Amino acid sequence: MFYLESSDIMRLRNLKDKDFWLQNCSYLIQDPYHYQGKWSEVFLNNHPIHLEIGMGKGDFIYEMARSHPEINFVGIEKYSNVLARAIKKYPEGLPNLRIICLDALKLEQVFAKEITTIYLNFSDPWPKKRNQDRRLTSKVFLHIYDSLFQGKKEIIMKTDNLGLFASSLVSLSQYGYLLEEVCLNLANSDIPNVMSEYEKKFVKLGVKINYLKAFK
């Protein structure tokens, strides 16, 4: 049976004033390829850079940037419609936050060994086997992430989806990552946590959140 997930509906629904938000955002990087290898010039410091892939409406990355001024944050989102909603929600921005409208497949052209941590929050699960390469923890993407990381590679992931979580544990391990933390009920742990938009919805429904921190 074919059905639309809520994330698909959010992506498809057109935001009427989308162009206004995208054109007038001070922290949206319009030409990210130009800054490959030069992101310290964007932030005007050498602080570590953390990347969120699939930032959605931005709750997680905005709060992380607000509470960690000593870290620079870059959020990417594939759909401009969704990104415009994030900008509308957070019009002011922060000095240590930048966002980009980008498909993760193109990340290799945007960063050159400049990232220390990657966050994957409630990534699309792509449950069918024929779509497994589209999962953001498939070896296709892990290979892309290799060229982004500076030194130690760190991936932090949260998801409600047990299928995606299990396949990520396997894929990360097979790719040489070590699992530093694995938790099947984040709310019952003492792991410090900033909730994303999807996470807030799932927690309200009583859904358990899976968490992993892996490094290589």
Is 8 in the active site? no
Of 124, 133, 146, 160, the catalytic one is 124
Which CB atom, from 32 or from 56, has the smaller least distance to ligand SAM? 56
Which CB atom, from 45 or from 143, has the smaller least distance to ligand SAM? 143
**H-helix or E-strand spanning residue 214:** strand 210-215
DSSP 149-179: EEEEEEEEEEES-HHHHHHHHHHHHHTT-EE
Which CB atom, from 25 or from 53, has the smaller least distance to ligand SAM? 53
Q: Considering the complex, what minimum distance in angstroms separates the CB of residue 96 from ligand SAM? A: 19
**Site residues, ligand SAM (CB under 6 A):** 7, 11, 53-56, 76-79, 82, 103-104, 121-124, 196-199
Q: Considering the complex, what minimum distance in angstroms separates the CB of residue 89 from ligand SAM? A: 12
Distance CA 79, CA 128 (A): 22
165 to 46, 58, 95, 160, 195: CA distances (angstroms):
33, 22, 33, 8, 18
Point out the residue whose Cβ comes nearest to ligand SAM: 54
Beta bridge partners, 53, equal 76
Q: Considering the complex, what minimum distance in angstroms separates the CB of residue 20 from ligand SAM? A: 20
What torsion do the CA atoms of 94, 70, 51, 44 make, to the nearest 10 degrees? 70
Which CB atom, from 12 or from 178, has the smaller least distance to ligand SAM? 12
Q: Which tokens belong to 105?
A: 């497949």
Q: Considering the complex, what minimum distance in angstroms separates the CB of residue 141 from ligand SAM? A: 8
Annotated catalytic residues are 124
